[in-house]
Amino acid sequence: MQQSRVRFHRRLARLAAAPIRGRIAGVVTDGRNVNPSTSTRSARETDYGALVRAAQGGSQQAMERLLMRAQEIAYRFSLHVCGHADDADDAMQEALLKTYRHAAQIKEPDAFRTWLYRTVKNACLISRRKRVHEPGRLESLDEVVEHADGSVQGIDVPDPGRRPDEVLENSRLRRSLHRALQSLGPEYRLIVFLREVEGLSTREVAQVVGISEANVKTRLHRARLSLRQQLESP
């Protein structure tokens, strides 16, 4: 974790020292305390094109949301596709910095979403290759603990709007899904993650993975059949 933080600050210093080609014109802040993680819209529902256009127009709030979304995707990708949450910090940093550098430059804001998933995919795979010889420290979904009194302690953030039984049910769901996903081959896991978990269209999945749409559909069907078996087995 410490090494990861040091690497982030080194990269940040390099980014800050890079020649300034221009600033985001007239950075607009509306004075509100903007917390990008408290947005009510999930990553699945995010309109990335609109966020990119707003960020390019100088909205710091939009930029912060994009940066948070990029990190959320990198975290879920590390966990579900790579199966190693210990890689997540590196992948999140990479996604953060690349999004920051790229968002202001992109010519087609609506293409940002597939760019982001491709970037996260590459960041996670590079991070995994670097660490492949290191001992793994799996921050697993199994860390969710149900206490004898029925209370739940887990990776879910306590949310006053959610009942404890809902939190527990979601935690169980995610644990079993995590296990089921890890039973799939990597090429199937990637497709399921992009299509089912993240909600990309078949065309977007094909663009991110670099295969035909027909191939995406075939793999998705096989993966669903296998996932179904895993989820239904005791």
Partner 1 sequence: MTPQPTDRCRQPLEQVSRYLDGDLSAAQRRTVGQHLRRCPCCQHMADSLKHTVDTCHKAGGARLPADVRSRARARIATLLASGAVPPRRA
For residue 171, the 8-state DSSP code is H
Query: Shortest gap between Cβ of 212 and partner 1 (angstroms)?
Result: 14
Q: Please provide residue 135's backbone torsions phi and psi, each rounded to the nearest 5 degrees.
A: -65, 135
Give the start-end residues of each E strand in 50-190: 145-146, 152-153
Residue among 207 and 219 whose Cβ is closer to partner 1: 219
Tokens of 91: 């992948």
Distance CA 193, CA 180 (A): 12
CB closer to partner 1 out of 146 and 196? 196
**Toward partner 1, which CB reaches closer, 107 or 133?**
107
Closest separation between CB of residue 94 and partner 1, Å?
A: 11
86 touches partner 1 by CB under 8 A: no
In the complex with partner 1, the residue whose CB is nearer, 36 or 83, is 36
> Contact 85/138 with Cβ under 8 angstroms?
yes
Q: How far is the CB of 210 from partner 1 (least distance, A)?
A: 21
CA–CA distance, 139 with 183 (Å, rounded to integer): 18
Beta pairing partners, 183: none
Between the two ends of the chain, the Cα-to-Cα distance in Å is 35
**Which residues in this chain contact partner 1 in the complex, by CB under 8 A?**
8-9, 12-13, 15-16, 18, 20-24, 35-37, 42-44, 56, 60, 63-64, 67-68, 71-72, 75-76, 80, 88-89, 92-93, 96-97, 100-107, 155-159, 170, 173-174, 176-177, 192, 196-199, 202, 217, 220-221, 224-225, 227-228, 231-232
